[in-house]
């Protein structure tokens, strides 16, 4: 299954993607995690990305595409993948389309987790306490939500127009939301 999970920061897509990986037996590729690993390793890429990430802005499309190309070329992606955190803007969505076409691995489903803004803010504040992420400061959170609304929300329309979008209600218990996602994927697979 080749799947992308879309949703605002705090929508729960990371948590759900990591459960889906066990269910679908395909790797969970989080571009945020890949970038955080580069930052932790102190690589050239990590050094370039660190400040941008801390501010809650988007790292360059070029860096992301290079990173993604290399990750998708690994053996464990031959039966599919779950993309979490990519694409973040329409240029990335077009780049992903071209990349997947070139490796003959077209996308099978795009699932958007829908969560009201008030709840997003509450969840991110909870995570800031629990995990202490560098980009969970109030100012960075504001920027990330703004970036989502301005740049990532149009990506949802991109997939809607391409006919492979399913919107899932992201409010509720983890198990409940997980079941909704599985149902959405099963429906997408039987249609597509
Ligand atoms: P995430 O863990 O998905 O919330 O990502 C954390 C941060 O990494 C984001 O706020 C961005 O700074 C950066 N990032 C992750 N994915 C992307 C992407 N597809 N394009 C640009 N920046 C990204």
**How is 57-92 classified by DSSP, letter by letter?**
-PPPHHHHHHHHHHHHTSGGGTT-EEEES---SHHH
Domain that holds residue 128: 2-191
Confidence label for 34 from pLDDT (cuts 50, 70 and 90): very high
Alpha carbon distances (Å) from 16 to 9, 11, 13, 123, 179: 13, 9, 5, 14, 10
Which atom of ligand 1 lies at the shortest distance from residue 36's CA?
A: 8
Catalytic annotation, residues: 13, 88, 127, 133, 144
pLDDT at 148: 96
By most ligand atoms within 8 Å of CB, the mutation choice from 4, 59, 71, 124 for ligand 1 is 59
CATH number at residue 97: 3.40.50.300
Distance in Å, CA 117 to ligand 1 centroid = 19
Which atom of ligand 1 lies at the shortest distance from residue 31's CA?
A: 16
Q: Write out 156-172 in H/E/C secondary structure.
A: HHHHHHHCCEEEEECCC
Mean pLDDT of 131-137: 80
* Ligand 1 close to Cβ of residue 59 (< 6 A): yes
- Mean pLDDT over the full length of the chain: 94
pLDDT digits (tens, 9 = 90+) for 60-119: 999 999 999 999 999 999 999 999 999 999 999 999 999 999 999 999 999 999 999 889
Confidence label for 133 from pLDDT (cuts 50, 70 and 90): confident
- The domain total for the chain is 1
pLDDT at 192: 59
pTM: 0.94
């Amino acid at each position: 299954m080749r799947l992308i999970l879309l949703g605002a920061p705090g929508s729960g897509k990371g948590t759900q993607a990591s459960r889906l990986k066990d269910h679908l037996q395909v790797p969970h590729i989080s571009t945020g995690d890949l970038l955080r690993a580069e930052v932790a390793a102190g690589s050239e890429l990590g050094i370039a990305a660190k400040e941008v990430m801390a501010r809650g802005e988007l790292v360059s499309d070029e860096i992301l595409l290079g990173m993604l190309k290399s990750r998708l070329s690994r053996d464990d992606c031959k039966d599919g993948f779950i993309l979490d955190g990519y694409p973040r803007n329409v240029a990335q969505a077009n780049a992903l389309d071209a990349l997947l076409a070139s490796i003959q691995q077209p996308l099978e489903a795009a699932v958007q987790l829908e969560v009201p803004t008030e709840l997003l803010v509450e969840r991110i504040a909870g995570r800031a306490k629990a995990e202490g992420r560098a980009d969970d400061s109030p100012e960075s959170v504001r920027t990330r939500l703004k970036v989502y609304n301005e740049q990532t929300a149009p990506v949802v329309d991109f997939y809607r127009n391409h006919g492979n979008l399913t919107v899932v209600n992201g409010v509720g218990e983890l198990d409940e939301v997980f079941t909704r996602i599985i149902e959405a994927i099963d429906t997408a697979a039987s249609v597509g």
